[in-house]
Chain A
């Protein structure tokens, strides 16, 4: 029951439109690159200073001077450009990047996101997450609907330290696709085999259900 990580990525890939500049976070968001439909041309931004991120290199093309924000070796593509970290976040804050896809630990019904710190655990840092969520025009979150103990991660208010306020527009979880509206989480689609009741039970924040909810098509 529910979508696996690759299926979540595949569903999010449908939100990526021709001509977009897109920043993909670490984890499920990175997988989205594998499912961008044929004929859709996008430019991937890596916030350490690259536009036009290509696939992983073949063994003979590995270059220590060419990595992505996850510190993985990558390649450039025809038309790529390279710049400093200041320039990179300038284009993020300046809203030149069209779409940001990132993971989350919690999202609130107002669109607040928490994804950088768990009290009592070693704090690794926010990296570029706070800059991205504060400025992106359009942010889609990829996440699990509930924690391992079954508790909801789609909440009235975030309980973990906030990364950014009122910034999330759309969420794709293992159970559902939801839009964050002024009135709460609006249910758009449900995963195959998942009922509206299942989603209701797994959502602590206000869930808005209008009419028949179609199944996710992937």
Chain B
């Protein structure tokens, strides 16, 4: 079996350069590639285009890259939790492209699946549809949306094996599987890395073919944005 293992984040991120387009998995702070983000900070690469559903919070996730002005453009569906983001956007330092969440997910999926464009009803008749081709199918209007691809995709899984197969846990799956397929080079970081053969092939969420480099993350903070509990 092809061994995709690299030693650490430093080795995994070799080749990441200024002005690249990156995909980063996660929904809010759930399922984000924490260790790869730390390494992007250390590398100091800049003018990045980041495709990610959200933009982190001020002091965690992609928010850390924003603080260091490493991001030129964000492509996201919702960016509401980040004051530094707002400041850079209003001052024109940062560009943002907002995309309906389902369209974002599907454009990434299309990128990984070799489908250059598709039609979706989301955004028809809104400013999202301005300048886009639309067509009628069965009496309803749809917008044409194009695939998204990345130079590097950074995904985070619960378990992975040396062949690059991934298993996610809970709603930390979110955008990670599609991004894994849409990256020219996909870096997977996992909480637990095991030898090929230890994961049940029936339980794999992302097949190793999509993953070029895999490593076990040094540590995971897994910060919670909205800790909501009930009394027992």
Q: Mark A74-109, 1 if CB is under 8 A from B, else 0.
A: 100000001111101110110000000000000000
The answer to whether B116 has its CB under 8 Å from any CB of chain A is no
Q: Within residues 198 to 232 of chain B, which ones have a CB less than 8 A from any CB in chain A?
A: 222-232
Residue among A72, A74, A85 making CB contact with B174, cutoff 8 Å: A85
The answer to whether A196 has its CB under 8 Å from any CB of chain B is no
A92-B102, A128-B102, A162-B125 as given contacts; A67 in contact with B173, CB under 8 Å:
no
The answer to whether B123 has its CB under 8 Å from any CB of chain A is yes
- Determine whether the beta carbon of B231 is less than 8 Å from that of A58: yes
The answer to whether A131 has its CB under 8 Å from any CB of chain B is yes
Give residues in B with beta carbon < 8 Å to A. 27-31, 53, 76-81, 86, 89-90, 98, 100-106, 108-109, 120-128, 158, 169-178, 222-232
- Determine whether the beta carbon of A67 is less than 8 Å from that of B176: no
Question: What is the size category of the interface that chain A forms with chain B?
Answer: 35 or more
The answer to whether A63 has its CB under 8 Å from any CB of chain B is yes
* Most chain B beta-carbon contacts within 10 A, residue among A72, A84, A163: A84
Give bound CA distance, A59 to B230, whole Å.
7
A89 proximity list for chain B (CB < 8 A):
101-103, 105-106
Interface CB pairs A-B, < 8 A, 5: A57-B230, A84-B175, A124-B78, A130-B122, A130-B128
- Determine whether the beta carbon of A125 is less than 8 Å from that of B78: yes
Top 6 nearest A-B pairs (CB, nearest first) are A89-B102, A131-B102, A124-B80, A65-B170, A64-B222, A134-B121
- Determine whether the beta carbon of B177 is less than 8 Å from that of A84: yes
- Determine whether the beta carbon of B173 is less than 8 Å from that of A125: no
